[in-house]
Amino acid sequence: MLIPSESAERGATLDPDFMRHLEAEISRFKRSRTATFDDALERHYERETHEARTRDLNITMMLGGICFLLTALTDIAFVPDIGFDGVLIRVGALPLFLVVIVFGPQMEPMHREMLMVVAGTVLVLLLAYIPLLSSAPQAALSFMCAIFAIAFGNTTVVPRFRHACIFTALSCIGVGALSIYQGPYGWAITIELLLVGLFTLFANYRIERGARLEYLLGEHEKQRAAGLSAEREKLKILSETDALTGVANRAAFNNYWAALYADPAYAGRSAALLLLDVDHFKAYNDHYGHIAGDDCLRAVASKISSTLRNEGDLVARYGGEEFVVCVLDVSPAQARIMAKRLCGGIRALQIPHDGREDGIGYLTVSIGIATGEIAVHGSIRELIAAADEALYIAKNNGRNRVEVALPDAA
């Protein structure tokens, strides 16, 4: 079973192995009463929930510290004869809360949970020790503070269920023993203690299991959404890709320029449009056949794509044997150099073309160039018209050449 790496952003890409694992775990959770994952998924779960777990732990420990101190108010009614001893015991225990808050988030999950068990058990036993200091007849009622602390730990701090079981068992044994030692009501207090422990453990289990099932369903939904997004992206690519040559199609070309004109960040930037036409392509098709013609167009498209300067440039099949190249941030001189490189590169392919009448025995192209600046809310039509005019001139001047037209703006 493969689990995504720590650096992977969940939901960004579809992971089929992880998806299948999630589906298996969801099925297992719904069939059984489990509240645990296998080791690999457990590590991923801890990693994904660490930030939220740390935030919740800090909040609940601060709240717990306040409530821990406020239980001193019950000393007035239950153990009035011990004076401020109960307050001093509680204040002296406050560093335990700080230890969990400061060191807990930095520890491995297992160590963090054990730290919570140890700190929680010590705090419960300290509260259970206070009634032993009093000789008041109602002192046994002070054990309610310890019972409250167990309930708070299981249902508000919410340690992992297996650790909640350890915390509850240790606390019940300790508090039960102290209550029996304290006086004749110990057996009744122990019964209440056990009932509270069982009920709060059940609540902890339901909280933990619910959180884990919610995580599974959430991750599954992320994966499903990622799958849909990937499918949409594939369809988008297919809809904007020329099926024959593999380069962008005319729709993609139109969308490309529409995006440039719609974005103010591109306003004023120079742009060049190279309109390329395969010379005597009809004669090539007639002489070699349409299959060879398709191969020819693929070779031309591949050569154009390999000549582009960077990923931001666009090559598209404009229609038939015409291609268009879009380049940003170039001067007319740079655009002309690129066009000549394209023209020479396609000649260098030495694709035979015996069907042409001008005596040149290999495939060539003619290129018309138009350059200008992108204007917000402008139109590509002027640039296309200028490039088309330059291409017309190149054809009339004998083909296998480059011509440049300079419009006022793109």
What is the CATH topology of the domain spanning 250-405?
Alpha-Beta Plaits (3.30.70)
- 222 or 196, which is more confident? 196
Residue 8 has pLDDT above 80, yes or no: no
Catalytic residues: 321
Quick one: 70 exposed, middle or buried, by C-beta within 10 A (0-12, 13-18, 19+)? exposed
Q: Is this prediction's pTM over 0.85? A: no
Given this model, what pLDDT does residue 55 score?
92
Give pLDDT tens digits for 248-266. 999 889 888 888 888 888 8
Q: Are 361 and 353 a contacting pair, CB within 8 Å?
A: yes
Residue 75 has pLDDT above 50, yes or no: yes
**Which helix (H) or strand (E) element contains residue 111?**
helix 109-129
Where are the domains positioned within the chain?
Answer: 16-225, 250-405
How far is the CA of 390 from the CAs of 175, 187, 369, in angstroms? 94, 102, 6
Task: Please provide the DSSP assignment of 183-218 as one string.
Answer: -TTHHHHHHHHHHHHHHHHHHHHHHHHHHHHHHHHH
How far is the CA of 379 from the CAs of 28, 235, 260, 385, in angstroms? 58, 27, 10, 11
Q: How far apart are CA 104 and CA 73, in angstroms?
A: 29
Q: Are 321 and 297 a contacting pair, CB within 8 Å?
A: yes
Phi, psi of 244 (to 5 degrees): -80, -50
Give pLDDT tens digits for 348-391. 999 999 888 888 889 999 999 999 888 776 678 888 999 999 99
pLDDT band at 407 (very low <50, low <70, confident <90, very high): low
Q: Are 113 and 154 a contacting pair, CB within 8 Å?
A: no
